[in-house]
Structure 1
């Protein structure tokens, strides 16, 4: 393919279309090629030329007679059609803008930039044409695709951290906002508002995980307003719980407690399920522990366990709370005790949960290993704590999460009085090898 004349980028609305996102995620290139033809006017012969494929092979893929599985072919399709690497599960391609250019909040992702010479938005008539071309009339299948992509974002958030997902999440949020502006049936508008609220919460979470608290609060506030528009008080409780957790990280325990209490009020007002109430009670426990209130922490932990014991198979749990299982209850109980300084109680709970932690949840493993190391260190078990902290380094190095690396930096600072101990030396050496910036600061937990 001639390098002197790079192929033009696909329309932004096509790249943000939920069906396109889903097709790319599944590497369903038959569907990808069909959508590229329909919405970008790139016909099979042109696809073949741009992706270094034979026309007959492209035709077989579109007809469902052939699958494209080899990585080099996937990379050629990404480069030839200008599909951003993250959409196909690839590393960032050389033709994409550097990550730093996408880090600014609310900035347009790199794959949505048309030409460097023009920074102004398209005219209204071009916007109308693009809207028509993208088939933006909401449908049940579109909503299903949107919700499926959100579930996938959360899975990938656990595996890789949220920051790499942020451009795609915010781009999809903007897409749903454009659909809402076009209006439509009341029932469909309500569903779109619900999807927008979930995407806004996810965008807030990716900023929170990166310790970009101001931007996180903006997106959480947007999610709260969207949920309020459809009177989804359980989801409002969910967002308030996220904001409460963030306040504990910002050393604002009074705010954290107020937000956790408000979350529980919203959930009770709509007969929140036992699982929802259990999760919210644990958020309250975190707030009390950060305040240093032993009685408040213990009471909230007991309430969380009482609610959890009431869970039954037929409960109408919202999808966003299904992650809160028995394993999560145990580890959060341990962390609450750990925040309070009750290391002897916390250690066996966190250790048991860590043994059962899924290897796919890399951030969770790193996060919980840190808390286990912290409780061991509080008890004077220096060597054991350092070995546990080293166990956190491998999963931590595989995710982009400033929240996790910040905890490890904090642990490094706590080791300062013991720098010459062999276990501490081994930890520091591995920390510098896997996380080169690991000792640059000491944020609070």
Structure 2
């Protein structure tokens, strides 16, 4: 057997770099076999997997999202951690010098070797200064950073935030390793869960669903460590929403119901249960189950009507206010092609939505345009979609861009209209 790990020429291969950036282990294993001479049995031995499991992965079923397994693959095949969005592995030496053929995705910026001080990241400097110690000030600073990340994500999308979020997640993981006080460890696990969820969300918004699921799963693991069932419900709700985008409505429904079970077992607040009911409604609407979708929406409004001062809502669910419930109800009705009921709800929500939330406004403006088109109000729908297109120019959200391309396809029967043709040309000029 040759030296351990994949050859450097293969790690430098653009196809392999892309597969690692996407955490597409089917392609990684296929390339390892085709270009590196690693047959399934050798991959299995190196990664502590069974040959049958490797064969299933190479066929694309099921996908690998468990972080422990991902780390075993990185170590077994000697794939640098930063290529897979992991911390540096224990076997890694100094990073390649400039000009080295091994390249990695910049979204996975990782900690450089100690003999390259000029490449240290801000997170490394802060970690050294803090001595990786958990203190009340450190915890407050981390929580404030998370709140700021979410605000900026709402305003402009998360593409530019992702390297900082992942870097801070690694920093927190280092602090967790050094923390002795159980109260600090619990707080740090909660912060790590929030950062991992945010990292997953940025990948979801970028339509990189495999990477998103990996971070959402990591977030679940952190939350499970401290038995935070309400936060587990929150992450399952994210996974449910992603499943609707992947055209997996039954998965979306199952995940939303599992989220509700976790929330109820922990005494979840009415606001949280209302949000989770809406996520279930999205799944039913995607499955074209009108009756079940209406039941879930009714349940969401019932829960929301029970909200009282002093409920103790977690900070991460406070965004779900009356405006959000109104807009989401309209979106569910729009998915059910009940445009007459959907349009005024979405329009009402848009009037009350904060102007600074550019991505949310772009997303909801698209849905307003779609309901208007369902009502055959072509000129009005095109004007509304034009507003969404203008908002999209100020944000980084491939998810919103994909919705606009979807609208362009819906316009095909109306291309004889000058406004429809002009808007279609503008949207077509955008990269999907």
1:368 correspondence with 2:361: no
Match of 1:201 among 194, 197, 201: 197
Q: Size of the alignment, in residue pairs?
A: 328
Aligned-partner Cα distance in 1 for 2:150–2:126: 29
| Structure 1 partner of 2:12 | none
Match of 1:164 among 157, 160, 164: 160
- 1:417 shift after superposition: 2.4
- 1:104 shift after superposition: 5.6
- Conserved? CA contact 1:204–1:218, under 8 Å: yes
| Structure 1 partner of 2:333 | 337
Match of 2:407 among 398, 407, 411: 411
Aligned-partner Cα distance in 1 for 2:426–2:112: 40
SS of equivalent to 2:282: helix
After the TM superposition, which segments of 4 or more aligned residues of structure 1 sit over 6 Å from their partners? none
- 1:317 shift after superposition: 0.3
Residue ranges of structure 1 left out of the alignment (5+ in a row): 1-100, 123-127, 441-445
SS of equivalent to 2:161: helix
Report the CA distance shift for 1:398/1:265 in structure 2 as closer, same or farther (over 3 A). Answer: same
1:108 correspondence with 2:112: no
- Show CA shifts across 1:365-385 (max 9, x none): 110010011111111111111
| Structure 1 partner of 2:351 | 355
- Conserved? CA contact 1:166–1:203, under 8 Å: yes
Segment drifting more, 191-200 vs 175-184: 175-184
- Show CA shifts across 1:49-103 (max 9, x none): xxxxxxxxxxxxxxxxxxxxxxxxxxxxxxxxxxxxxxxxxxxxxxxxxxxx875
Report the CA distance shift for 1:285/1:137 in structure 2 as closer, same or farther (over 3 A). Answer: same
- 1:358 shift after superposition: 1.3
| Structure 1 partner of 2:313 | 317
Report the CA distance shift for 1:103/1:366 in structure 2 as closer, same or farther (over 3 A). Answer: farther
- Conserved? CA contact 1:102–1:167, under 8 Å: no
Aligned-partner Cα distance in 2 for 1:277–1:329: 12
Match of 1:135 among 109, 113, 131: 131
| Structure 2 partner of 1:437 | 430
- 1:415 shift after superposition: 1.1
- Conserved? CA contact 2:411–2:424, under 8 Å: no
- 1:132 shift after superposition: 5.0
TM-score normalized with structure 2 length: 0.72
- Conserved? CA contact 2:203–2:209, under 8 Å: yes
- 1:118 shift after superposition: 6.6
- 1:108 shift after superposition: 1.5
- 1:113 shift after superposition: 4.9
Match of 1:296 among 247, 271, 292: 292
Aligned-partner Cα distance in 1 for 2:354–2:336: 26
Report the CA distance shift for 1:202/1:102 in structure 2 as closer, same or farther (over 3 A). Answer: farther
Residue ranges of structure 2 left out of the alignment (5+ in a row): 1-102
Report the CA distance shift for 1:103/1:370 in structure 2 as closer, same or farther (over 3 A). Answer: farther
- 1:414 shift after superposition: 1.4
Aligned-partner Cα distance in 2 for 1:359–1:160: 12
| Structure 2 partner of 1:273 | 269
Match of 2:421 among 402, 406, 425: 425
Aligned-partner Cα distance in 2 for 1:379–1:131: 56
Aligned-partner Cα distance in 2 for 1:102–1:395: 32
- Show CA shifts across 1:403-434 (max 9, x none): 000000111111122223111133235436xx
RMSD: 2.5
Aligned-partner Cα distance in 1 for 2:104–2:363: 26
SS of equivalent to 1:316: coil
